[in-house]
A = this chain, B = another copy of it.
Amino acid sequence: MPEPLALAVDLGGTELRAAAVAPGGRILTEAGTPTDAMAGPERVIDQIVALLADARSRVPDLEILGLGIGAPGPLDPIAGISIAPPTLRGWHDVPLAAILRDRLGLPVRLENDANAAALGEWRYGAGRGLASIVFVTVSTGIGGGVVADGRILHGRRGLAAEIGHMTITESGGRCFCGAVGCFEAVASGSALGWSATKATSPGDGSRLRALSADGAVTARHVADAAREGDRQALALLAEEARWLGIGFTNLLHLYSPEAIVVGGGLSVALDLMAADIARTITERAMPAYRDVPVVAAGLGRHAGLVGAASLVLEAN
């Protein structure tokens, strides 16, 4: 007899994805659609129900245990309520889990998207088999989720692990949150792009501006140029790695994970930064924390979906 499945939804401000997921995190069927983020919760919930009906129709004979959802925070994972996600217009205190439970006739679990991705990497990806990991996404911003002693760290209102907004410096520009010195403000992919744009100018003959066609330089351009051996890009990545190393050292001291798992767009350049990150950690971390590995995430954009599924598959 086949094992029962979970349905999973990864609700983003841009894209909505749904899947049917087998035990072990194996995706059997998956579909996506642009999120109608400006249309309010009723419309988006209809989109979710339609995508899930489609997913169910493709696994008709299999028992479905329930639905796990990863959604943008802030949300209350216990009550299953989406509080006020900034990327979804009109969502205020939406009891998303209860609504979908009624419409689908299935148990529903809700988790914030960063925690869902952390769960995915922990249960099926780079953190498999460990008791404690910190999952960090480095892309436009910096976000994350913490698995501590075998379970997601929630804290009050599920708001723990707001990693991007820990202060690590007095330098750098003002963060969108209003403070100065946030990890995100100095170490995100956006911050790297800004630094690269500031360090170059249109028509300066740099490899970075060649790649950007003289427009703003992005983190991706820096990573690509660095991989070609461009010295300016390598220096920018080394500085990026130093900031990541400072932030990661804090995460080691504060959460004591068995691994730091790095995802997000900039993780494609983790190999180029690994030595500088390790050097910074060795310089700054207390001895007992220095041998904790910093590893690339293993599941890419599927981490959130399979992590959401795991809320149902691996009920604990």
Residues of A whose CB lies within 8 Å of any CB of B are 74, 131-132, 148-149, 151, 153-163, 165-171, 177-179, 181, 246, 249-250, 253-258, 283-284, 286, 288-289, 292
Contact = CB atoms under 8 A, between A and B. Distances in A.
Given A156-B257, A160-B256, A256-B160, A166 B132 contact: no
A170 B242 CA distance: 13
A139 to B, nearest CB: 19
A149 B153 contact: yes
A178 B290 CA distance: 13
A162 B284 CA distance: 13
A151 to B, nearest CB: 8
Contacts of A161: 254, 256
A221 B135 CA distance: 44
Given A132-B156, A155-B149, A165 B286 contact: yes
Contact of A148 (B154, B166, B181, B292): B154
Contact of A155 (B155, B171, B256): B256
Contacts of A162: 253-254, 256, 286, 289
Contact of A253 (B151, B165, B249, B288): B165
A284 B167 contact: yes
A179 B132 contact: no
Given A253-B165, A254-B254, A288-B74, A160 B177 contact: no
B179 A283 contact: yes
Nearest to A165: B253
